[in-house]
Amino acid sequence: MPTSIASGTLTADGTEQGLATDTANKNYVLVVDTANLVNGEAVELRLYTKCLTGGTERLAYMATYVNAQGEPMKYSVPVPADISLRATLKQTAYFSAYKAFPWKLLSL
């Protein structure tokens, strides 16, 4: 059964913005509602992890969504992490204004 680790609504600003960081030993899924995207807009979702304690954080997952979405709920693939996981969002293109994105970080 999934457990909510963190959640909220982020209004993008064109930079890579942090959503959540967790340091437990879990399998994580990032959920983002992209219903506010319109044609001409794009958003990137990213998950970062570390392989070793004291190691360098590296990109483990990235997805880009462009234009209005027929299926707006986006789920990342499950990402196992036993040291840390960091979730981010970046709106890379906008039509009239940066959008608000409801999101949640789940553990499986």
- Domain 3-107's class? mainly beta
What integer pLDDT is reported at residue 70 of this predicted model? 97
What tens digit of pLDDT does each residue of 61-90 get?
999 999 999 999 999 999 999 999 999 999
pLDDT classification of 104: cutoffs 50, 70, 90: very high
What integer pLDDT is reported at residue 14 of this predicted model? 96
**CA-based nearest residue to 49, from 72, 77, 74:** 77
pLDDT classification of 93: cutoffs 50, 70, 90: very high
Distance CA 28, CA 49 (A): 11
What tens digit of pLDDT does each residue of 3-25 get?
999 999 999 999 999 999 999 99
Q: Are 1 and 73 in contact (CB under 8 A)?
A: no
Distance CA 27, CA 20 (A): 14
